[in-house]
Amino acid sequence: MGRIVRCPIENQVIANSDGVLDIFELIAGANKPIDLVKFRFESSNIAADNVRLRMVRRSTTGSGGVTGVPVKNNEGGGTITAVVEFDVTTVGSVGDILAAYQWEQLGPLEEIYLPEERIHVQEGGRLCLEIVSAIPNDANWSGYVVWME
């Protein structure tokens, strides 16, 4: 490990929903574990809509998302092995619950992990930021996920 990769999402419509969905699903490549370094999301919502979120490991992959286009922070060093899906509407099975959040959407949602706090994802493993509450209004969300391969 040592290469930093980021994957942006821009102006993705998150539709009002009363079901569970994943803001992002980060999937480590075969034989390539990763560490989550940071994520940040902002909402176009101008109402103080609260969203409850959890960071979870999943044992199965979801479906219905938009594939992100990851980029390396530096241009050297091989192929990016991890995959990111945003707005995954049919989620996989929950494993560990690692964190829980309440996001009011009027400000950004951001988590920056200290090196010793970074969440490790085993080869082929899945890490998701899951929405577990109803979303009362449509909103456009932009942001990014950063990891180390």
Distance (Å) of CA 101 to CA 50, 105, 137? 10, 12, 19
Q: For 4-34, write each residue's pLDDT tens digit.
A: 999 999 887 776 666 788 889 999 998 899 9
Letter string b/e over residues 102-131, b meaning 16 or more CB atoms within 10 A of that residue's CB: ebebeeebebeeeeeebbebeeebbbbbbb
pLDDT at 16: 64
Distance CA 96, CA 86 (A): 20
Higher pLDDT, 2 or 72: 72
**What pLDDT score was predicted for residue 104?**
87
In this predicted model, what pLDDT tens digit does every residue of 36-60 receive, in sequence order? 999 999 988 877 788 899 999 998 8
Residue-level pLDDT at 9: 92
pLDDT in tens, 86-116: 988 888 899 999 999 998 888 999 999 999 9
Q: Are 41 and 8 in contact (CB under 8 A)?
A: no
Q: Say yes or no to pLDDT of 1 above 70.
A: no
Most confident of 57-61, 76-80, 137-141: 57-61
Q: Say if domain 4-148 classifies as CATH 2.60.120.
A: yes
Q: SS3 for the chain, per residue? A: CCCEEEEEEEEEEECCECCCEEEEEEECECCECEEEEEEEEEECCCCCCCEEEEEEEECCCCECCEECCCEECCCCCCCCCCEEEEEECECCCEEEEEEEEEECCCCCEEEECCHHHCEEECCCCEEEEEECCCECCCEEEEEEEEEEC
